[in-house]
Amino acid sequence: MKIGSISYRLFLRQSISEEKDLYTIYCKLIQGNEIKVISTGIRVPKEAWVAKKYSIKHAFNTECYLLEAWKIKLHKKLLDAYSTNQNNTIIDIVIFMNPTKSAYEANRTKGFLEVFRMFTAKAKQLIGKEYNRATVYKFDSTITAFSAFLLHHYQKNDIILDKVRLKHLLEYEEYAAMVLKHKTATINKTIQRLKQVIKYAIGHDYLDKDPWTMHKSKSVQHLIVYLSKEQLDLLLHARMSLLTLEKVKDCFLFSCFTGLAYAEIAASSKENIVFKNNIPWISMQRQKTKKSFLIPMLPPAFTIWEKYEGVLPVFTNQRYNLYLKEIMQELRINIHLTTHVARKTFTSTVLLGNNIPLKVASTLLGHSDSKITEKYYAEVSNDLLEQHAEALFNIFKK
């Protein structure tokens, strides 16, 4: 029988400790992929049970009365929750039907994926505040991947939180690499999300300690791709064959000279511009980190801004990337142009290439930690390296 989002069925089970001729009636509660089994506490001979009706033969008056009362209590709880739109979980039902079982004991039986779904449900309620839709979508994808891993490796739909060990994470790493064919960077991101669930579980008293504290993600060497000063100048002074390509080129250049992601360019408006000492600054909030930042609008960027009167042309991601590919071919630039390349060009060629300190670059990029900038953008261009080497050479030449 199903009421609202929760269905149930009753069945008999005999444990070793029970009398030979008596069986206990159990109730299996099902909500989505989550399953809990609780005891009604009622015991009857096997011949007294009517399986199709989930009932006891009337000849066993006392047991029959007790079971009907138990079912009425369960139905009332489920109907009340359904009629008032309460989001009751199976644990809520378990605690309600077994008052002697504490919430603490019930929490100790929570599954990892069960808690992950709770965590994701909370995240969905915070879309636009603490999370964006893309992040929540990745949570759902991670649930699917880890669920497939448990089925593949253990033939289980979930694993009790208290039973989670470091070996499960290590085994998932191997599964993701060998079966899912994921790259190391993708696996590391997935593991970050899995670790978030453990922290959530500890914070809500579902778990006492982190079983994954000893885990270290595998390092990934990132190839920093950006436009050189010559390539940036070529793009800056180029005139495209089509008006559409000219607009896309302007958007890309605007990102090269501001470090803004394409979504932030699309969201920008005249209200985001402030002037300090006659220098225009972009005042915005980084969508990814929610960190406020100020970026000076350098002359090439301000020229583009004025050209479109503060409203830059916006394309879909698919069309934007397609047009960037055409620009790359038309100008014979041997670098795959993307928004990430534009941001890295801003950091490497525009900022670091002009001796802007790394800490300042980190602030201008809106990074939550300067180590992020150092890790992904600290590679300087050969030109800058040669300049410093030449200056050092001249010092000791004297």
C-beta separation of 64 from 53 below 8 A: no
C-beta separation of 238 from 232 below 8 A: no
Give the C-alpha separation, 240 to 323, whole Å.
11
Q: What is the pLDDT of residue 376?
A: 54
Global pTM value:
0.55
Residue 314 tokens, joined: 């916006």
C-beta separation of 8 from 32 below 8 A: no
Give the C-alpha separation, 331 to 234, whole Å.
8
Q: Where are the alpha helices (DSSP H) in the chain?
A: 61-83, 90-97, 103-107, 112-125, 133-154, 166-178, 184-203, 229-237, 243-258, 262-267, 299-307, 317-331, 339-345, 358-365, 370-377, 382-397
φ/ψ (deg, to 5) at 387:
-60, -50
C-beta separation of 353 from 381 below 8 A: yes
Digits of tens for pLDDT over the chain (398 positions)? 777 788 899 998 875 455 667 888 988 888 887 778 888 888 899 899 998 888 999 888 889 999 999 999 999 988 887 787 777 777 778 888 876 554 545 555 688 999 999 999 999 999 888 888 889 999 999 999 999 999 999 998 899 888 899 999 999 999 999 999 999 989 999 999 999 999 999 888 788 789 999 999 888 766 778 898 899 999 999 999 899 999 999 999 999 999 888 888 888 888 888 888 888 998 887 766 666 778 888 999 999 999 998 889 988 888 999 999 999 999 999 999 998 899 888 888 888 778 777 777 777 766 666 666 665 555 555 556 666 677 777 777 65
Give the C-alpha separation, 320 to 342, whole Å.
13
Q: What is the pLDDT of residues 228-258, one digit of tens each?
A: 889 999 999 999 989 999 999 999 999 999 9
CATH architecture, domain 229-390? Orthogonal Bundle (1.10)
Cα distances (angstroms) measured from residue 265 to each of 193, 250, 261, 270: 28, 11, 6, 12
C-beta separation of 146 from 116 below 8 A: yes
- Give the bridge partners for 111, in sequence order: 160
